[in-house]
Amino acid sequence: MAVLKQGSKGKDVERLQADLNKANAKPKLAVDGIFGPLTEAAVRDFQKRHPPLKVDGLAGPNTLAALKAALSGPAKPAKMDYTRKTKRMDFELTGANQKIWVRQYWHYIFKTKGAVKKWTSKEQKDFHKETEKIIRKAWGGKFVLAVSGTSDFAKYFKDKTFTVFFDVDPRKKGKHWTVFALKIPKGGSNTSKVNWSKQEITLDTEDLQPEDKGAGGGVKMDVAAHEFGHAIGQPDEYKASNAFHAHKKSIMNLGNQVKKRHAKHLVDELNKMIPDTTFSVKSVK
Ligand SMILES: [Zn+2]
């Protein structure tokens, strides 16, 4: 095909004008099949935006090929789904719905402390259900991740995002965590904690009630959600030595707010999952 340039006319020019419009020509061109100064300006602008094209205002083979490539977008990567298993959690990414699931298998050991009756099996089931509900409400769907890198996967998802969700399953086989669940008297207290190196979590029945820890403004903390923060790799922030010591309303401090920094461990692990692909937290919902 001949090089299209100022003065060219016809169907090929019409197609060029329509394609330039799809490739964000500003102002939009009239699709009239007449290559005038506005069409030339749009060609130049497109060439400028797509190095290493020569900026000459002529629509030759290189410019037309680049235009075609720009409109078809990056090719869908051959592999759209990934998983990564670690000692403390598994990661499951599905490209089709742009979701990342973080799964933990918890092996519960139910105990009592103080003047309470033995756990019934319904109470045990309810304890898990309630705990998972609190975790999902606090953390699920909050982290929105952007993707960058040189892989086909990264190029395809360059302008898209992934949302992180959480799943906790009671399961002994392949357990990530041993969870000591203490039934304690109503209004009683016990120290809930997470031992990262031993992969142990201690929770109690009073952790299911939101509690005012002193964050201010009536903000209450869900202890189970705070402890889960430790189980996804986050340190306490209320300690004077922590850089975010003053952010009282943070969930890893005394409050309930999830911050970008709280995805650090997750992102570090995800960044080992797909070669030449880097995740970063774009926003927190
Ligand atoms: Zn803590």
pLDDT tens digits, residue range 169-228? Answer: 999 999 999 999 999 999 888 899 999 999 999 999 999 989 899 999 999 999 999 999
Return the pLDDT at 51: 86
Cα 5 to averaged position of ligand 1 atoms, centre (Å): 67
Q: Which residues surround ligand 1, an ion (CB under 5 A)?
A: 236
- Reply yes or no on whether the pLDDT at 241 is more than 80: yes
Return the bridge partners of 15, or none. none
Cα 9 to averaged position of ligand 1 atoms, centre (Å): 71
Cα 254 to averaged position of ligand 1 atoms, centre (Å): 9
Write down the domain spans for the chain: 11-72, 81-284
Tens of pLDDT, residues 104-151: 999 999 999 999 999 999 999 999 999 999 999 999 999 999 999 999
Cα 184 to averaged position of ligand 1 atoms, centre (Å): 19
Cα 114 to averaged position of ligand 1 atoms, centre (Å): 23
Cα 194 to averaged position of ligand 1 atoms, centre (Å): 7
Return the pLDDT at 4: 97
Is the domain defined by 11-72 classed in CATH 1.25.40? no
Cα 235 to averaged position of ligand 1 atoms, centre (Å): 7
Return the pLDDT at 59: 97
Tens of pLDDT, residues 42-92: 999 999 988 899 999 999 999 999 998 888 877 789 999 999 999 999 999
Cα 256 to averaged position of ligand 1 atoms, centre (Å): 12
Return the pLDDT at 83: 98
Cα 276 to averaged position of ligand 1 atoms, centre (Å): 34
Q: What is the pTM of this model?
A: 0.79
- Reply yes or no on whether the pLDDT at 279 is more than 70: yes
Q: How many CA atoms lie within 13 A of 5 on its CB side?
A: 8
Cα 170 to averaged position of ligand 1 atoms, centre (Å): 22
**φ, ψ (nearest 5 deg) of residue 227:** -65, -35
Q: Counting beta carbons within 10 angstroms of the beta carbon of residue 61, is it exposed (0 to 12), middle (13 to 18) or buried (19 or more)?
A: exposed
Cis peptide upstream of residue 27 (ω within 30 degrees of 0) = yes
Return the pLDDT at 1: 65
- Reply yes or no on whether the pLDDT at 238 is more than 90: yes
Cα 102 to averaged position of ligand 1 atoms, centre (Å): 20
- Interhelix angle for 37-49 vs 11-22, to 10°? 50
- Cβ-contact 186, 196 below 8 angstroms: no
Return the pLDDT at 72: 81
C-alpha 88, offset from chain centre:
18
- Reply yes or no on whether the pLDDT at 231 is more than 70: yes
Cα 239 to averaged position of ligand 1 atoms, centre (Å): 10
Tens of pLDDT, residues 5-47: 999 999 999 999 999 998 889 899 999 999 999 999 999 999 9
Q: Element (H or E) spanning 127, and its range?
A: helix 121-139
Cα 252 to averaged position of ligand 1 atoms, centre (Å): 6
Interatomic CA distance for residues 43 and 37, integer angstroms: 10
Cα 57 to averaged position of ligand 1 atoms, centre (Å): 62
Cα 261 to averaged position of ligand 1 atoms, centre (Å): 15
Question: Which DSSP letter does residue 170 get?
Answer: E
Return the pLDDT at 70: 84
- Reply yes or no on whether the pLDDT at 247 is more than 80: yes
